[in-house]
Amino acid sequence: MSEYVLQFLISGITVGSIYALVGLGFTIIYNASDVINFAQGEFVMIGAMSAVTFSVAGTPLIIAIIMAMLVTVLIGFALNLFAIKPAKGASVVTTIIITIGASIFLRGAALLIWGKDFYSLPAFSGEQPIHIAGATILPQNLWVLGMTVILVSAVLLFFKYTLLGKAVLACSCNSTAAQLVGINVGKMMLLSYGISAMLGALAGVLIVPITFTSYDAGVMLGLKGFSAAILGGIGNPIGAVVGGLLLGILESLGAGFISSGYKDAIAFGIILLVLFIRPSGLLGRTTQERV
Amino acid sequence: MRINLVKFLSATALCAFLLLSSQTQAGDTIKIGSFLAVTGGASFLGDPELKTLQMYIDEINQKGGVLGKKIELIHYDTGGSPKKAVKFIKRLVKKDRVDLVIGGSTSGTTMAVAPLIEKFKIPMISLAGSIKIVEPTQKWLFKVPHTDRMAAEKVFQDMKKRGFTKVALISGNGGFDKSGRAQSLALAPKYGIEIVADESYGNKDTDMTAQLTKIRATDAQTILNFGFGKAPAIVTKNIKQLGISLPIYQSHGVASKKYLELSGAAANGVRLPAAAIVVADELADDDIQKQIASRYKKQYEAKFDQVSSFGAHAYDALMITVEAIKRADSLDKKAVRNEIEKTHNYIGAGGIFNMSADDHMGLKEDSFKLLEVVDGRWQIVN
């Protein structure tokens, strides 16, 4: 029995690290503007799809990945410049609805470019499973886990120790005040969409050998990543990781011990319960509005 | 009130005009109506089906048509919605006055219009999979694709041959998956097979190791996966990842090159039932379906992307229709219906069709080929 538990946990961590990586992408734009960017899942999909396209065209994997990230960053910039910026002064809810529209647009465009097929990339370092006390894990999963740790640390350091990161945070706290102290809010927004897109693309590239990709892959990943970010406390990079891993483990234990048909219901039921008790998420800051 | 009256009058006038104009046209062309899921979740069905219909209707018209008349295709996109299908079938019959109908792509849209088809007394050939469409038989309703029951039978026959009696079943949460699962559960006792595990997953899930770990703990001798899209490829990879060495069976839902590409080396040894069209190139030269399968594949791939068995269903439906009209030598709906029912020894892309009053599909389960993946290629198992 204990051997099952270990496999369930490893399965959960595997899936959870994917959710965490996607969830991480939500934090940057949220920290800059309090907006939840529902096109984040599409960033993940576009990153994965472009990497596959470049790789199939014969580009070495590492260059294909960098080019895919560039493409996605450009799309992130475009999203900001052509969809978000013209709606300047709109409420947060309006902006969120714009991102939903953008996600539908990007999905449609991807459908026209890549069709309805599924695509994959070869695993970065082989497909030989690694055995740990009767349970197994794939090398690609270690890549995902490792990169999640690196990216989370990078995002944390960025917000905590760099002037740029602090400037981005300031925009979210009070954009008028930020403007007054000389922060170019428009540029910070552009930057945050670019970084979010880059994180999304990187997530997409890392997980595509495990999950495959198609024009509509962003929907599910975006939803699960968003749930992870909310569960952990949105805006907090560590929260996204904790939320992602927890969601993955809940799903896999639910599938393993109760019923595979109801695993999503079990996981989301628990998320609802957690949010009922702690509305700001597990590690979320409780906001106090000063009047 | 006044405005309403004007609207009513103009609408009536328009109707009368349309009625007249369509009646004047009626003699010149053969009108085939169609409602397919070209967009939406089931577009992988409707898209190749519509392309196939258009391609072959063009070809037939270039060769002079049928009975000296050109075929005209009137198509509406249902997006997979049964509600729209009902609306479109009314429009096809009442306004467009089609001679017969080919469609819909999904079992849901087909079943939604089935009562209307009987009411309108117009022949319809469905391109959907469910056995419910032709069982019980309805007078005006036919279908051409293989059923999920045939797939399950083909798989169980092979399992029996190999001496497997304990099977672990894992399936997705889509309509295709669920129907396949139900058929497998119902048929298993007939072949002396016990289903020792019955797991499911979401079709967009990224990892099925938890379910497979549970299967590993059972005394199953083989794993049957009923699924469609990318999920079966993930299942295949996960099985290898967990070091499970049981033989794997998949359904006809994954009979495409994409499955081989996605699952890579993990797919070696996997067996599945599939239509001949999938292995058109691998068929023996004396295979009765060789000629038609390679012809369809060549023509379709010259114009569009990779061939699928779904487009081939539309091909069969169209050809059965054309043959029936030729034999009936008229467009009388009753005569055409009777001739469709008499379809005998028609060698199609999906198999050999022998319809009768109690069999409105006409395929036997031997129209499925059993394939095994050998070094990333399909091989026909005899």
Q: Are B225 and B298 within one domain?
A: no
DSSP string computed for B183-229 = HHHHHGGGGT-EEEEEEE--TT-S--HHHHHHHHTS--SEEEEE--T
In a domain, B19, yes or no: no
Q: Are B303 and B233 within one domain?
A: no
Residue of B nearest to A19 (CA): B206
Q: Determine which of A55, A260, A266 to mutate to test the interface with B (most B C-beta atoms within 10 Å).
A: A260
Q: B59 is in which domain, residue-wise?
A: 29-147+292-367
In a domain, B94, yes or no: yes
Shortest Cα distance, chain B CAs vs residue A230, angstroms: 20
Domain with residue B320: its CATH number is 3.40.50.2300
In a domain, B270, yes or no: yes
Q: Are B218 and B162 within one domain?
A: yes
Partners of A258 on chain B (C-beta within 8 Å) are none
Shortest Cα distance, chain B CAs vs residue A203, angstroms: 14
The total of structural domains in chain B comes to 2
Pick B207's closest partner by Cβ from A15, A120, A129. A15
Whole-angstrom Cα distance, residue B83 to residue B66? 33
Pick A220's closest partner by Cβ from B47, B204, B229. B204
Helix (H, G, I), strand (E, B) or coil at B377: strand
Q: Are B153 and B88 within one domain?
A: no
In a domain, B202, yes or no: yes
Q: Which residues of chain A have pLDDT under 50?
A: none
Q: Do residues B16 and B55 make contact, with C-beta atoms less than 8 angstroms apart?
A: no
Helix (H, G, I), strand (E, B) or coil at B143: strand
HSE-CB of B339 using CA atoms within 13 angstroms: 19
For residue A122, which of A137, A138, A109 has the smallest C-alpha distance?
A138
Instruction: Give ∠ CA B143-B34-B26 in degrees, rounded to 5.
Output: 115
- pLDDT 10s digit of each residue in chain B, 382 long? 455 655 655 655 555 555 544 444 446 899 999 999 988 777 888 989 999 999 999 999 999 999 999 999 999 999 888 999 999 999 999 999 999 999 889 888 999 999 999 999 999 999 988 888 888 899 999 999 988 889 999 999 999 999 999 999 999 987 778 888 999 999 999 999 999 999 999 888 888 998 999 999 899 999 999 988 889 999 999 999 888 999 999 998 888 888 888 898 899 999 999 888 888 888 888 888 888 999 999 999 999 888 888 899 999 999 999 999 999 999 999 999 999 999 999 999 888 999 999 999 999 877 888 999 999 889 998 7
Q: Are B127 and B237 within one domain?
A: no
- Which stretches of chain B are assigned E, i.e. beta strand? 29-36, 70-77, 100-103, 124-126, 141-143, 166-171, 194-200, 222-226, 248-250, 271-274, 346-347, 352-353, 369-374, 377-380
Whole-angstrom Cα distance, residue A8 to residue B255? 30
Q: Are B372 and B228 within one domain?
A: yes
Complete domains list, chain A, with CATH: 2-277 (1.10.3470)
ipTM, two decimals: 0.83
In this prediction, residue B9 carries a pLDDT of: 56
> What one-character DSSP code corresponds to residue B160?
H
Q: Are B272 and B205 within one domain?
A: yes
Size of interface A-B (CB pairs under 8 A): 86
Q: Is residue A90 packed enough to be buried (19+ CB in 10 Å), middle (13-18) or exposed (0-12)? A: middle
Q: Are B102 and B39 within one domain?
A: yes
In this prediction, residue A291 carries a pLDDT of: 56
Helix (H, G, I), strand (E, B) or coil at B286: coil
Q: Determine which of A212, A245, A253, A259 to mutate to test the interface with B (most B C-beta atoms within 10 Å).
A: A212
Pick A256's closest partner by Cβ from B201, B214, B233. B214
Q: Do A255 and B211 touch (CB under 8 A)?
A: yes
Q: Are B255 and B311 within one domain?
A: no
In a domain, B179, yes or no: yes
In a domain, B315, yes or no: yes
Partners of B233 on chain A (C-beta within 8 Å) are 118, 212
In a domain, B75, yes or no: yes
Q: Are B142 and B33 within one domain?
A: yes
Q: Are B125 and B178 within one domain?
A: no
Q: Do B209 and A116 touch (CB under 8 A)?
A: no
In this prediction, residue B285 carries a pLDDT of: 85
In a domain, B143, yes or no: yes
Question: How many other C-beta atoms are found inside a 10 Å radius of the C-beta of residue A14?
Answer: 25
Partners of B243 on chain A (C-beta within 8 Å) are 129, 131, 136
Q: Chain B residues with CB-CB distance to A under 8 A?
A: 43-44, 47, 173, 199-202, 204, 206-207, 209-211, 213-214, 217, 229-230, 233-234, 237, 240-243, 258, 261-262, 264-266, 305
Q: Are B157 and B231 within one domain?
A: yes
